[in-house]
Protein backbone atom coordinates (compact mmCIF):
# COMPACT_ATOMS: atom_id res chain seq x y z
CA UNK A 1 0.00 0.00 0.00
CA UNK A 2 1.36 3.42 -0.96
CA UNK A 3 1.95 6.17 1.61
CA UNK A 4 -0.96 8.27 0.31
CA UNK A 5 -3.29 5.24 0.26
CA UNK A 6 -2.35 4.46 3.85
CA UNK A 7 -2.97 8.08 4.81
CA UNK A 8 -6.39 8.19 3.15
CA UNK A 9 -7.39 4.97 4.90
CA UNK A 10 -6.71 6.45 8.34
CA UNK A 11 -9.39 9.14 8.12
CA UNK A 12 -12.00 6.45 8.68
CA UNK A 13 -10.05 5.01 11.62
CA UNK A 14 -9.71 8.40 13.32
CA UNK A 15 -13.41 9.11 12.83
CA UNK A 16 -14.12 6.06 15.02
CA UNK A 17 -12.19 7.69 17.89
CA UNK A 18 -12.77 11.31 16.96
CA UNK A 19 -12.98 12.21 20.66
CA UNK A 20 -9.22 11.69 20.94
CA UNK A 21 -8.55 15.00 19.14
CA UNK A 22 -9.91 16.72 22.26
CA UNK A 23 -6.63 15.87 24.00
CA UNK A 24 -4.28 17.99 21.85
CA UNK A 25 -7.01 20.64 21.67
CA UNK A 26 -7.21 20.90 25.47
CA UNK A 27 -3.41 20.85 25.83
CA UNK A 28 -2.75 23.66 23.33
CA UNK A 29 -5.64 25.93 24.28
CA UNK A 30 -5.13 25.25 27.97
CA UNK A 31 -1.43 26.07 27.78
CA UNK A 32 -2.11 29.25 25.80
CA UNK A 33 -4.66 30.49 28.34
CA UNK A 34 -2.39 29.62 31.28
CA UNK A 35 0.54 31.40 29.67
CA UNK A 36 -1.47 34.55 29.04
CA UNK A 37 -2.84 34.59 32.59
CA UNK A 38 0.42 33.78 34.36
CA UNK A 39 2.58 36.17 32.36
CA UNK A 40 -0.25 38.67 31.76
CA UNK A 41 0.49 39.01 28.08
CA UNK A 42 -1.52 38.37 24.94
CA UNK A 43 -0.03 36.00 22.40
CA UNK A 44 0.54 37.60 19.02
CA UNK A 45 1.65 35.03 16.39
CA UNK A 46 4.87 36.00 14.64
CA UNK A 47 5.41 32.78 12.70
CA UNK A 48 5.87 32.92 8.94
CA UNK A 49 5.26 30.12 6.50
CA UNK A 50 8.10 27.63 6.37
CA UNK A 51 7.99 24.44 4.33
CA UNK A 52 8.84 21.55 6.65
CA UNK A 53 9.86 17.97 6.14
CA UNK A 54 9.07 15.53 8.91
CA UNK A 55 6.36 14.10 11.15
CA UNK A 56 4.21 16.14 13.45
CA UNK A 57 4.49 15.27 17.15
CA UNK A 58 2.07 12.98 18.95
CA UNK A 59 -0.14 14.30 20.38
CA UNK A 60 -0.03 16.91 17.59
CA UNK A 61 0.48 20.55 18.54
CA UNK A 62 -0.08 23.79 16.66
CA UNK A 63 3.48 24.56 17.73
CA UNK A 64 4.55 22.51 14.69
CA UNK A 65 3.29 25.40 12.53
CA UNK A 66 3.46 28.33 14.96
CA UNK A 67 6.96 27.86 16.34
CA UNK A 68 6.57 30.86 18.66
CA UNK A 69 3.43 29.39 20.25
CA UNK A 70 4.00 29.92 23.99
CA UNK A 71 4.83 27.25 26.54
CA UNK A 72 4.01 27.68 30.22
CA UNK A 73 6.93 25.61 31.49
CA UNK A 74 9.90 25.72 29.17
CA UNK A 75 10.68 27.17 25.76
CA UNK A 76 13.87 28.32 24.12
CA UNK A 77 14.04 30.25 20.87
CA UNK A 78 15.85 33.19 19.27
CA UNK A 79 14.30 35.48 21.90
CA UNK A 80 15.82 33.48 24.74
CA UNK A 81 14.09 31.56 27.52
CA UNK A 82 10.34 31.69 28.02
CA UNK A 83 8.21 29.96 30.63
CA UNK A 84 8.38 29.19 34.32
CA UNK A 85 11.53 27.09 33.98
CA UNK A 86 14.22 29.64 33.08
CA UNK A 87 16.97 28.34 35.35
CA UNK A 88 18.02 25.07 36.94
CA UNK A 89 17.20 24.71 40.64
CA UNK A 90 15.53 22.00 42.82
CA UNK A 91 12.07 23.61 42.54
CA UNK A 92 12.21 23.82 38.74
CA UNK A 93 13.55 20.27 38.45
CA UNK A 94 10.62 19.00 40.52
CA UNK A 95 8.22 21.07 38.41
CA UNK A 96 9.72 19.71 35.21
CA UNK A 97 9.54 16.09 36.41
CA UNK A 98 5.88 16.58 37.34
CA UNK A 99 5.22 18.03 33.90
CA UNK A 100 6.99 15.09 32.23
CA UNK A 101 5.02 12.58 34.31
CA UNK A 102 1.71 14.08 33.21
CA UNK A 103 2.62 14.51 29.55
CA UNK A 104 4.04 10.97 29.43
CA UNK A 105 0.72 9.56 30.58
CA UNK A 106 -1.18 11.65 28.03
CA UNK A 107 1.25 10.65 25.26
CA UNK A 108 0.89 6.99 26.25
CA UNK A 109 -2.92 7.07 26.31
CA UNK A 110 -3.14 9.04 23.08
CA UNK A 111 -0.93 6.73 21.03
CA UNK A 112 -2.53 3.63 22.55
CA UNK A 113 -5.95 4.80 21.37
CA UNK A 114 -4.59 5.78 17.96
CA UNK A 115 -2.93 2.36 17.65
CA UNK A 116 -6.14 0.43 18.34
CA UNK A 117 -8.45 2.65 16.28
CA UNK A 118 -9.81 0.77 13.28
CA UNK A 119 -8.79 -2.61 14.75
CA UNK A 120 -11.21 -2.77 17.69
CA UNK A 121 -13.67 -0.65 19.59
CA UNK A 122 -11.90 1.89 21.78
CA UNK A 123 -13.32 3.88 24.69
CA UNK A 124 -12.04 6.44 27.19
CA UNK A 125 -11.53 3.54 29.59
CA UNK A 126 -8.91 2.15 27.19
CA UNK A 127 -7.18 5.53 27.20
CA UNK A 128 -6.90 5.46 30.99
CA UNK A 129 -5.93 1.79 31.26
CA UNK A 130 -3.34 1.71 28.48
CA UNK A 131 -2.05 5.15 29.33
CA UNK A 132 -1.31 3.90 32.83
CA UNK A 133 0.14 0.62 31.58
CA UNK A 134 2.68 2.19 29.24
CA UNK A 135 3.33 5.55 30.95
CA UNK A 136 6.74 4.57 32.39
CA UNK A 137 8.12 3.73 28.95
CA UNK A 138 6.95 7.09 27.63
CA UNK A 139 8.32 8.78 30.75
CA UNK A 140 11.81 7.43 29.99
CA UNK A 141 11.51 8.37 26.30
CA UNK A 142 10.28 11.89 27.09
CA UNK A 143 12.96 12.40 29.73
CA UNK A 144 15.68 11.47 27.24
CA UNK A 145 14.18 13.91 24.76
CA UNK A 146 14.28 16.94 27.05
CA UNK A 147 17.86 16.48 28.32
CA UNK A 148 19.41 18.33 25.33
CA UNK A 149 16.89 21.15 25.81
CA UNK A 150 18.01 21.55 29.41
CA UNK A 151 21.58 21.64 28.15
CA UNK A 152 21.03 25.19 26.92
CA UNK A 153 21.40 26.32 30.52
CA UNK A 154 25.03 25.20 30.21
CA UNK A 155 25.63 26.20 26.60
CA UNK A 156 23.28 27.35 23.86
CA UNK A 157 25.12 25.08 21.42
CA UNK A 158 23.91 22.02 23.35
CA UNK A 159 20.38 22.78 22.15
CA UNK A 160 21.30 21.32 18.79
CA UNK A 161 21.78 17.91 20.41
CA UNK A 162 18.00 17.65 20.05
CA UNK A 163 18.56 16.62 16.45
CA UNK A 164 20.35 13.48 17.64
CA UNK A 165 17.05 12.21 19.00
CA UNK A 166 15.62 12.00 15.51
CA UNK A 167 16.88 8.41 15.60
CA UNK A 168 14.28 7.71 18.30
CA UNK A 169 11.32 8.78 16.14
CA UNK A 170 9.92 5.24 15.80
CA UNK A 171 10.49 4.15 19.41
CA UNK A 172 7.12 5.60 20.46
CA UNK A 173 5.38 3.51 17.82
CA UNK A 174 7.25 0.39 18.86
CA UNK A 175 6.09 0.92 22.45
CA UNK A 176 2.39 0.68 21.49
CA UNK A 177 2.75 -1.88 18.67
CA UNK A 178 5.43 -4.30 19.87
CA UNK A 179 4.78 -6.17 23.10
CA UNK A 180 8.41 -6.27 24.22
CA UNK A 181 10.66 -4.71 26.86
CA UNK A 182 11.63 -1.04 26.74
CA UNK A 183 15.17 -2.02 25.78
CA UNK A 184 13.81 -3.93 22.80
CA UNK A 185 11.48 -1.04 21.92
CA UNK A 186 14.55 1.16 21.51
CA UNK A 187 16.31 -1.52 19.44
CA UNK A 188 13.30 -2.09 17.18
CA UNK A 189 12.54 1.61 16.75
CA UNK A 190 16.12 2.59 15.93
CA UNK A 191 16.71 -0.37 13.62
CA UNK A 192 13.45 0.39 11.78
CA UNK A 193 14.72 3.88 11.00
CA UNK A 194 18.05 2.74 9.59
CA UNK A 195 16.57 -0.20 7.69
CA UNK A 196 13.86 2.01 6.14
CA UNK A 197 15.62 5.31 5.55
CA UNK A 198 14.18 5.61 2.05
CA UNK A 199 10.65 5.02 3.31
CA UNK A 200 11.19 7.49 6.16
CA UNK A 201 12.39 10.20 3.78
CA UNK A 202 9.37 9.61 1.53
CA UNK A 203 6.99 9.84 4.50
CA UNK A 204 8.76 12.95 5.80
CA UNK A 205 8.36 14.61 2.41
CA UNK A 206 4.72 13.58 1.81
CA UNK A 207 3.46 14.29 5.32
CA UNK A 208 5.59 17.41 5.66
CA UNK A 209 4.31 18.77 2.34
CA UNK A 210 0.67 18.06 3.18
CA UNK A 211 0.90 19.60 6.63
CA UNK A 212 2.76 22.60 5.26
CA UNK A 213 -0.27 23.27 3.05
CA UNK A 214 -2.51 23.02 6.10
CA UNK A 215 -0.01 25.26 7.89
CA UNK A 216 -0.70 28.09 5.41
CA UNK A 217 -4.35 28.04 6.46
CA UNK A 218 -3.40 27.86 10.16
CA UNK A 219 -1.09 30.88 9.90
CA UNK A 220 -3.83 32.89 8.19
CA UNK A 221 -6.32 31.87 10.87
CA UNK A 222 -3.89 32.69 13.68
CA UNK A 223 -3.56 36.22 12.33
CA UNK A 224 -7.30 36.69 12.88
CA UNK A 225 -7.04 36.48 16.65
CA UNK A 226 -8.03 34.05 19.43
CA UNK A 227 -10.90 32.40 17.56
CA UNK A 228 -8.67 31.80 14.55
CA UNK A 229 -6.05 30.17 16.77
CA UNK A 230 -8.69 27.84 18.24
CA UNK A 231 -9.76 26.76 14.73
CA UNK A 232 -6.10 26.29 13.85
CA UNK A 233 -5.63 24.05 16.88
CA UNK A 234 -8.66 21.97 15.85
CA UNK A 235 -7.27 21.52 12.33
CA UNK A 236 -3.89 20.55 13.77
CA UNK A 237 -5.43 18.06 16.20
CA UNK A 238 -7.52 16.40 13.48
CA UNK A 239 -5.07 16.18 10.60
CA UNK A 240 -2.21 15.55 13.02
CA UNK A 241 -4.05 12.51 14.42
CA UNK A 242 -4.56 11.14 10.89
CA UNK A 243 -0.84 11.53 10.14
CA UNK A 244 0.13 10.00 13.50
CA UNK A 245 -2.09 7.03 12.68
CA UNK A 246 -0.66 6.69 9.16
CA UNK A 247 2.95 6.61 10.41
CA UNK A 248 2.02 4.09 13.10
CA UNK A 249 0.23 1.79 10.64
CA UNK A 250 3.12 1.95 8.18
CA UNK A 251 5.44 0.99 11.04
CA UNK A 252 3.12 -1.88 11.99
CA UNK A 253 2.74 -3.14 8.42
CA UNK A 254 6.45 -3.07 7.57
CA UNK A 255 7.46 -4.59 10.93
CA UNK A 256 4.95 -7.42 10.66
CA UNK A 257 6.02 -8.18 7.11
CA UNK A 258 9.65 -8.40 8.22
CA UNK A 259 8.70 -10.63 11.15
CA UNK A 260 6.75 -12.97 8.84
CA UNK A 261 9.69 -13.19 6.46
CA UNK A 262 12.05 -14.07 9.31
CA UNK A 263 9.68 -16.75 10.63
CA UNK A 264 9.20 -18.18 7.14
CA UNK A 265 12.97 -18.42 6.57
CA UNK A 266 13.33 -20.33 9.86
CA UNK A 267 10.95 -23.06 8.78
CA UNK A 268 11.62 -23.05 5.04
Distance CA 63, CA 67 (A): 5
pLDDT in tens, 162-183: 677 789 999 999 999 998 999 9
The distance in angstroms from the start CA to the end CA of the chain is 26
String of DSSP letters for 99-112: HHHHHHHHHHHHHH
Name the band, by pLDDT with cuts 50, 70 and 90, for residue 267.
low
Name the band, by pLDDT with cuts 50, 70 and 90, for residue 40.
confident
Sequence-ordered alpha helix ranges (H) in the chain: 3-15, 22-38, 90-116, 124-150, 171-177, 182-195, 197-222, 226-267
Q: How many CB atoms lie within 10 A of CB 96?
A: 19
Are 6 and 249 a contacting pair, CB within 8 Å? yes
Q: What is the mean pLDDT of the chain?
A: 86
pLDDT at 84: 62
pLDDT in tens, 104-142: 999 999 999 999 998 999 999 999 999 999 999 999 998
DSSP state of 42: -
pLDDT at 151: 64
- Domain boundaries defined on the chain: 3-69+86-266
pLDDT at 78 over 60: no
pLDDT at 257: 86
Predicted TM-score (pTM) of the model is: 0.88
Three-class SS of residue 113? helix
Amino acid sequence: MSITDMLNKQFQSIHKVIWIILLPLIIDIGELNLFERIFKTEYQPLSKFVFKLGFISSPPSIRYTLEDFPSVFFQYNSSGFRGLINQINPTNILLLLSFVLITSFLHSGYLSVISQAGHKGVTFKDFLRDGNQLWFKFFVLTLLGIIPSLGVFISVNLFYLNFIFIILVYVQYSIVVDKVSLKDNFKLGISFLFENLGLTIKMAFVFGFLFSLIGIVIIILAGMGQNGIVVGVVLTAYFGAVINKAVLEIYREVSQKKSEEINFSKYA
